[in-house]
Amino acid sequence: MSGGVGGVPLFQTFKRLLTVPNDNPELTLAQFKAFSRQVPLLYLILLTNMLSLAGTHQTSAPFWLVKVVPAVFAVLFVTRGIGWIRESRKAVDAAYAYRRLVATNRLVLPISLLSVAWSIALIPYGNDYQKAHVAFFMSITVIGVIFCLMHLRSAALMVTFLVILPFSIIMGLSGEPTLIATAVNMFLVSLAMVAIMLRHYADFTKLNEQRLTLLDQQTALKEKNREMQLLSDENLRLANLDSLTRIANRRSFFSNLASAFEHAQAEKTRLAIGVVDLDGFKPVNDLYGHSAGDKVLVEVADRLSAFDNAGCSIFRLGGDEFALLIDADGTDEKALVDLGQQVCASISQPIMIGNSVVHVTGSMGIAVYPDVGTNGQDLYEHADYALYNAKRENRASVVVFNARQAKALFRLRQVEEVLFAADLDRELSLAYQPIVDAVSGRTVGFEALARWTSPVLGPVSPAEFIPVAEQHGRINLITRLLLTRALKDAASWSGEPYLSFNLSPHDLAVEENVLRIIAAVNASGLAPGRINFEITETAIMHDFDQAIHSIELLRALGCQVSLDDFGTGYSSLNHVHKLPLSRIKIDRCFVDHIDERAASYKIVKSVLALCSEMGLMAIAEGVEREEEVRILRALGVDAMQGYYFSAPLPGDLVAARLKAESAVAVKAKDRMKSE
């Protein structure tokens, strides 16, 4: 046989149509699910029609034909129907579904043949009405069966060809016009039903494929969404993680702080914040490089992570600052201080950097809700202020925010608010403290000291407003205003004493600021040699390389540069040797009661030896007692300043002091001539 469809042999085409496909597990399951719900209806149709036909032939056909055979079929149909009802309620896999469909497909052949044989066997025993009933029985049965089997194409086709064709042929050969017409009608209607069934099966298959495609798309979309969610979660995790130390970062801290504060408010529990800052970290960067500084930060983070537990979380806020978020419910202040001391003790342990050992310490400020703070940000600011006090008063210590600090912080915020609104040109002024020669007692210079008299707050100490101005970016403006005035005043002084003027770290941090200072000096007409700029160790250590460059610019102009408060900061002798300085000022903490404190005596003596070696002038500040003057002179200090000699003077009294000294000098000179 060479014919076929689409190049496929005809035999194979028929075989494919009459067998259950097994190439699509999902289609097999769908067929089984739909088929299992309709098979009980199929057996109900067969049973009803068979009993009806047997009933009309009760008196004319043999007993076995109208009693025994229908009874056997009835048992078979009822049993199979109940079985399929149970099947429809079971969860099955594709392999089981395929086996059940194949079994049904095989059972169709004997049932169809037996049904046709039984109905044909009844024809000789009936009259014209009964024969018509047989034809009606076959027509209704075939149509019902095709509808019920439309999800199992192979079974529906077998019923059509095994029932309709033989029965139509027998009815057509009966010679009776009614039966012949019924046979032709049944045959044509059956073909139409087959066409409808095939179209329905194709639509069913296509719909199932579309459903599977949609499921695949939905599965792919879910997988993509899951991957995107995982990526989003990972991005969120990284966004809340410090890239260097791999602990939670500043963003994570404030997010967790907001949640923890809301919980503490709602549950009326205690919440504490600890802010930790490293002492001595900047010199590590300068001496060993930033890679060494990074290693120190990583090591400190590792040590702090030992405190990261259910009641305490660790964060890096940035730079060398860390934070602890502490569940303080049931914890008193002493326990929090003990925790802080443990943290600081952990930080203070030696750290190996290559073959070198470095030491850093940590200071910590703590604030506790509900003792202080109305929100998370407020609580953090209180802890930060406590840290500021810890670093200022006693480094490597723990300070808990208290009522005294609350008062100081309130004052600080007052100063901030008023300073921003102040008319600095009108409200700022200068006082000048004399610097005297240690041997002759003659005034050799004046240190310009900033004064602020606010219409709102009254006189405000430089110790209060200068740090605020530095923090909020107003210090450069203050420097320019006061330097211009000081230069103008100094230009009018007789005897040419020098002007000593303090510069902020911010004045040295950017070359543009230094150039503005140089421009002010040039515009003043005052000889640069009569100007001494005082720079603190903090300013130098803030950015050592930039500090050297700034000092070199000032020295190139001809100005003098002194290192103020020497011995209180972090600078090493190595740094001092590298700086183009002209003077060193010994801090008042070493001068105070030097006659009673052996350690201070030795320190000052060492500083004076350093100055002698480097060719630098040494100036002692904060001198207030005659015993201090005597010892400093004996040690060889070049100059001194302090209340022993004079309090800071208003500008108009500077001229009077110089005039008085000049008069005394003239009298002394005249006396020497007369002698």
The string of pLDDT tens digits covering residues 385-438 is 999 888 877 778 899 988 778 888 888 889 999 999 999 999 999 999 999 999
The string of pLDDT tens digits covering residues 36-84 is 777 787 778 778 877 887 888 888 888 888 888 888 888 887 887 787 7
Residues 276, 170 within the same domain = no
Q: Would strands 443-454 and 498-503 be described as parallel, antiparallel, or unpaired?
A: parallel
Residues 171, 300 within the same domain = no
Q: Could you tell me which of 115, 22, 118 has the C-alpha nearest to residue 64?
A: 118
33/501 Cα distance (integer angstroms): 96
CATH number (domain holding residue 372): 3.30.70.270
Residues 206, 288 within the same domain = no
What single DSSP character describes residue 497? Answer: P
Kindly state the tokens that stand for 58.
Answer: 């009760």
Residues 62, 140 within the same domain = yes
Residues 523, 654 within the same domain = yes
Q: Look at residue 159 and tell me whether its pLDDT is greater than 50.
A: yes
The string of pLDDT tens digits covering residues 262-272 is 999 999 999 99
**Confidence (pLDDT) at 39:** 74
241/247 Cα distance (integer angstroms): 6
SS3 of residue 443 by DSSP: strand
- Residue 174's pLDDT band (cuts 50, 70, 90): low
Total-model pTM: 0.57
Residues 388, 426 within the same domain = no
| Continuous H helices in 422-572 | 424-427, 462-471, 475-491, 505-509, 511-524, 537-542, 544-557
**The amino acid at 604:** V
The answer to whether the CB of 401 falls within 8 A of the CB of 435 is no
Residues 29, 169 within the same domain = yes
327/276 Cα distance (integer angstroms): 17
Q: Would strands 351-353 and 356-358 be described as parallel, antiparallel, or unpaired?
A: antiparallel
Residues 492, 569 within the same domain = yes
- Reply yes or no: is the peptide bond before residue 370 cis, omega within 30 of 0: yes
Q: Look at residue 14 and tell me whether its pLDDT is greater than 60.
A: no
Q: Mind giving me the DSSP string for 567-601?
A: TSSS--HHHHHHS--SEEEEPHHHHTTTTT-HHHH
Q: Look at residue 28 and tell me whether its pLDDT is greater than 80.
A: no
CB atoms near residue 77 (< 10 Å): 22
Q: Look at residue 370 and tell me whether its pLDDT is greater than 70.
A: yes
The answer to whether the CB of 578 falls within 8 A of the CB of 557 is no
Q: Which residues are 446's β-sheet partners?
A: 434, 499
603/324 Cα distance (integer angstroms): 38
Residues 274, 199 within the same domain = no
Q: Could you tell me which of 635, 632, 661, 633 has the C-alpha nearest to residue 646?
A: 661
Residues 449, 325 within the same domain = no
Q: Could you tell me which of 475, 426, 473, 487 has the C-alpha nearest to residue 453?
A: 426
The string of pLDDT tens digits covering residues 192-240 is 667 766 676 666 667 666 666 776 677 777 777 777 777 666 666 667 8
SS3 of residue 423 by DSSP: coil
Q: Could you tell me which of 151, 144, 146 has the C-alpha nearest to residue 33?
A: 151
649/647 Cα distance (integer angstroms): 6
585/619 Cα distance (integer angstroms): 5
Cβ-based neighbours of 67, under 8 Å, separated by 6 or more: 54
How many structural domains are present in the chain? Answer: 3
Residues 263, 126 within the same domain = no
In a domain, 510, yes or no: yes
The answer to whether the CB of 284 falls within 8 A of the CB of 377 is no
Residue 535 belongs to domain spanning: 418-581+645-672
The answer to whether the CB of 9 falls within 8 A of the CB of 179 is no
Q: For the chain, what is the largest distance between any 2 Cα atoms, rounded to a whole number of angstroms? A: 178
330 class by beta-carbon count within 10 Å (0-12 exposed, 13-18 middle, 19+ buried): exposed
